[in-house]
Amino acid sequence: MQVERSAPSQEGFEDLVRASGRKPAAVDRPVVCVQGLGFVGSAMAVAVADARDEAGHRFNVVGVELPTPEGTAKVDAINSGHLPISTADARLVEALRAAHERGNIVATTEQRAYSLAAVAVIDISLDVIEDGERPTVNLDGFRAAVRTLGENLPAGSLIVVETTVPPGTTERVAAPELARALEQRGLGPDAVLLAHSYERVMPGDGYLDSIVNFWRAYAGTTTEAADACEAFLSGVVNVESYPLSRLPSTTASETAKVLENSYRATTIALMEEWGRFAEAANIDLFEVIAAIRRRPTHSNMRQPGFGVGGYCLTKDPLLGQIAARDLFGLDGLDFPFSTLAVSVNRAMPLTSVAILQDALAGGLAGRRILLLGISYRHGVSDTRSSPSETFVRAARELGAEVVSHDPLVSEWAELGLAIEPTIPSADGFDAVVFAVPHPEYSQLDLRKWLGEARPLVLDANAVLDHEQQRVLRDLGCRRLSVGRGLDA
């Protein structure tokens, strides 16, 4: 099945490319608009622009952002051939450079660009609001996004919701909003097709592969919508090696994403208590887990660490109870395991604070701490809900001065800090905390870097290998760790 070309528009794709100061691609292709150019949308836009078949590249891509300073900065980055976020994935960087040179990707804040689209992909953020004991989501922005598409997309086009939403949102929120916008144009409710296919984007050195070489599930509000979604995904994803899974409803597809992340968050939370046991019993839980993982049914067992961050695992487990209460009216249906997992994972960085508080004579008051790693995982510049933020705030409350570094972060927006590009010298620090296993840390020559400095070293996330641990021991540095037993 082929994705149909979009209807003609007064301003074409070529005009958008020329407006960005470039020469447009000579080949006429179906246009895909990606709504939102964050960590998911920007990578998705590049993946779609990079997709090809025997005849060449399949799509022309327009990334669309809101006309805010942040949105404009993302648009300018794409139009200059640069990702609006830092990444360790050379393939993704090269794919954008090639698409920029080829002229089949452009970004804009002009909402009328949607009138060009055969497909529009929704990749906007949806935050969980926790005010008291009842988490909620504010769907106003999501509704507005759907309404904008309904007001501009040509008849016969397809909307694919990739944003992680409470189960039931596509059917009970997006579909009615879309129908109202279409009705105002004199069009029927199915004039624009509506589907859901959740993203599994994993920023890092496999950023692009997590889109094109990974399994996808999807569903449509109608059979025609599901068929169109399958056709589109088949043009982007390597479906021969990673077959698609069609689910019977968009609510089922939405549930798959929320349950997937709830499962991961819960199993990570489980390891926190076992990590504390390992430290007290002076055993290496990572060696224990490695032995257990040899059993095929347990090969994906989680491990203890510094904490859980990012935009998914920190909030997605709460979407089940929000959907049950707010979309389905099921007030008596609770999700105790999912809710507890979120609470446990959020508190995990405090374990590292407590370790330092106990290990340093007199506690953290007046101490200087060097925190190596700010982003929520290695190879990623995303600092949203980073466990490092929790660590820094808690350590400061106890009177410590914390200096932070991350090779992929230049501005720590949540704390309003500028981050120096080079790893600070270890001189003058009472303790060094290795929080994120960036290669810059896991391959660090500790003997050279430490020099004459002998701070307490806390490996909070299995960053250092056995050779680095041996160097620390030989140098006489006091070593502590999370999940590996206290080395007093």
Q: Kindly state whether residue 266 falls inside one of the protein's structural domains.
A: no
Mean pLDDT of 243-255: 98
* Half-sphere exposure for 414 (CA within 13 Å, toward CB): 18
pLDDT (tens digit, 9 = 90+) per residue, 204-235? Answer: 889 999 999 999 999 999 999 999 999 999 99
Q: Are residues 167 and 201 in the same domain?
A: yes
Q: Are residues 17 and 99 in the same domain?
A: yes
267: number of Cβ within 10 Å:
14
pLDDT (tens digit, 9 = 90+) per residue, 458-472? Answer: 999 999 998 999 999
Q: Are residues 395 and 452 in the same domain?
A: yes
Q: Tokens for 47? A: 């993946």
Q: How confident is the model at residue 124 (pLDDT cuts 50, 70, 90)?
A: very high
pLDDT (tens digit, 9 = 90+) per residue, 135-149? Answer: 999 999 999 999 999
Q: Tokens for 461? A: 């996330």
Structural domain containing residue 366: 273-307+348-481
Is residue 87 within 8 A of residue 93, CB to CB? The reply is: yes
> Is the pLDDT assigned to residue 310 strictly greater than 80?
yes
Q: Are residues 186 and 116 in the same domain?
A: yes
pLDDT of amino acid 485 = 74
Instruction: Give percent of the chain above pLDDT 90.
Output: 87
Mean pLDDT of 67-78: 97
Mean pLDDT of 255-283: 93
> Is the pLDDT assigned to residue 4 strictly greater than 60?
no
CA distance 79 to 22: 9
CA distance 39 to 151: 26
- CB-based contacts of 78: which residues, under 8 Å, 6+ apart? 37, 42, 45, 63, 84, 96, 100, 105, 106, 107
Q: Are residues 171 and 285 in the same domain?
A: no
Give 259 or 133, the one with higher predicted confidence.
259
CA distance 60 to 14: 10
> Is the pLDDT assigned to residue 6 strictly greater than 50?
no
Q: How confident is the model at residue 379 (pLDDT cuts 50, 70, 90)?
A: confident
Q: How far is CA 140 from CA 144, 190, 200, 285, 391, in A?
A: 6, 22, 24, 45, 32
Mean pLDDT of 290-310: 93
Q: How confident is the model at residue 5 (pLDDT cuts 50, 70, 90)?
A: very low
Mean pLDDT of 380-408: 96
CA distance 149 to 140: 14
Q: Are residues 294 and 187 in the same domain?
A: no
Q: Are residues 91 and 205 in the same domain?
A: yes
Mean pLDDT of 42-67: 95
Q: Are residues 470 and 406 in the same domain?
A: yes
Pairing type for strands 245-246 and 411-412 reads unpaired
Q: CA angle, 379 as apex, 374 and 380 as ends, to 5°?
A: 55
pLDDT (tens digit, 9 = 90+) per residue, 346-360? Answer: 999 999 999 999 999
Q: Kindly state whether residue 57 falls inside one of the protein's structural domains.
A: yes
Q: What are phi and psi of 354, to 5 degrees?
A: -65, -40
pLDDT of amino acid 28 = 85
pLDDT of amino acid 486 = 55
Q: Kindly state whether residue 342 falls inside one of the protein's structural domains.
A: no
pLDDT of amino acid 133 = 73
pLDDT (tens digit, 9 = 90+) per residue, 12-24? Answer: 999 999 999 998 8
Pairing type for strands 479-481 and 456-459 reads parallel
How many distinct structural domains can be found in the chain? 2
Q: Are residues 303 and 410 in the same domain?
A: yes
For residue 46, the 8-state DSSP code is: H
Q: Are residues 205 and 280 in the same domain?
A: no
Q: Kindly state whether residue 208 falls inside one of the protein's structural domains.
A: yes
Instruction: Read off the pTM.
Output: 0.91
Q: Kindly state whether residue 413 falls inside one of the protein's structural domains.
A: yes
> Is the pLDDT assigned to residue 457 strictly greater than 70?
yes
Q: Are residues 29 and 106 in the same domain?
A: yes
Please state which of the ranges 9-18, 77-86, 192-201 shows the lowest mean pLDDT. 9-18
What CATH number corresponds to the domain at position 385?
Answer: 3.40.50.720
> Is the pLDDT assigned to residue 3 strictly greater than 70?
no
Q: What is the mean pLDDT of the chain?
A: 93
> Is the pLDDT assigned to residue 376 strictly greater than 50?
yes
Q: Kindly state whether residue 326 falls inside one of the protein's structural domains.
A: no
Q: What is the CA radius of gyration of the chain?
A: 24
pLDDT of amino acid 231 = 98
Q: Kindly state whether residue 140 falls inside one of the protein's structural domains.
A: yes
pLDDT (tens digit, 9 = 90+) per residue, 431-455? Answer: 999 999 999 999 999 999 999 999 9
Cα-to-chain-centroid distance, residue 188 = 35
pLDDT of amino acid 191 = 98
Q: Are residues 453 and 417 in the same domain?
A: yes
